[in-house]
A = this chain, B = another copy of it.
C-alpha cells in the first residue's frame, strides 16, 4: 500500500482516537500522549511521526471541530433557504448537531474557557465566523445598521452556544426545552435590537 496514504490513515486514527477520549470527563489538556497512542494502537514514540507535540494535535482537533461547525452553518443555510422560521430552524439544526457530535462540541466549549490561551484563541476564531455570518444576515434581511447588527449577532451566538453547553448534559426531552427557551430569548434580542434602533437612531 501507498506509504503516504498509510501515514495519513494513522494520523486520522490518532485524531479520531483523541476525539473519543474527549468524553464528559476529559479535556484536551487532560489527555496524555501515551493515552492517545494507546487508543490509536501505536507506540507512544510513534506519535512524534505525526505531531511534534500534543499541543499540535490539540490545535488540529480545534481546526477539525471548526470545520464541522462550518458544515453545520452550511446545512442551516440550506434549510433556511427552503422556508420556515429562521431562528427556529437555526436553533434546531444547532441542537441536532450538538447531539450528534457531542465530543466535537464539547471540545469547543471546554477550550473556549480552557487553560490554554492558544486553544482559547483558536476556538474564538471559529465562533467569530458564526457571529460574522449572522451579522451579515441581519444587515441584509432585517436592515439594521452594522453596529447594531454586530451587537445583536454577538448576543445571539453567545446565547446559542450557552444553550448548547447545557444541552450537552441533557436528554432528548430536556434538549427540546432548552431549544424552546433559547428561541424565545433570541426573539427578545431581536425585538430589542429593532426597538433600540428606533429610539437611538444612528448609534
Contacts and interface: CB of A to CB of B under 8 A. Distances in A.
A155 B196 contact: no
**Which 4 A-B pairs give the minimum distances between C-beta atoms?**
A192-B192, A188-B192, A191-B192, A155-B185
Interface residues on A, range: 35 or more
Contacts of A181: 151, 154
Interface in A100-125: 109-110, 112-117, 120
B159 A155 contact: yes
B25 A115 contact: yes
Interface string A1-36: 000000000000000000000001111011000000
A133 interface: no
A114 B191 contact: no
A108 to B, nearest CB: 10
A110 to B, nearest CB: 6
Interface in A127-174: 151-152, 154-155, 158-159, 162, 165, 169
Contact of A120 (B26, B114, B116, B169): B169
A126 B10 CA distance: 44
A187 interface: yes
Contacts of A195: 191-192, 195
A59 interface: no
A184 B120 contact: no
A113 B148 CA distance: 29
A152 to B, nearest CB: 7
Which of A154, A185, A188, A191 counts the most chain B CB atoms within 10 A?
A: A188
A189 interface: yes
Contacts of A193: 188, 192
A90 interface: no
5 contacts: A26-B115, A110-B113, A155-B185, A158-B162, A162-B162
Contact of A113 (B30, B113, B151, B184): B113
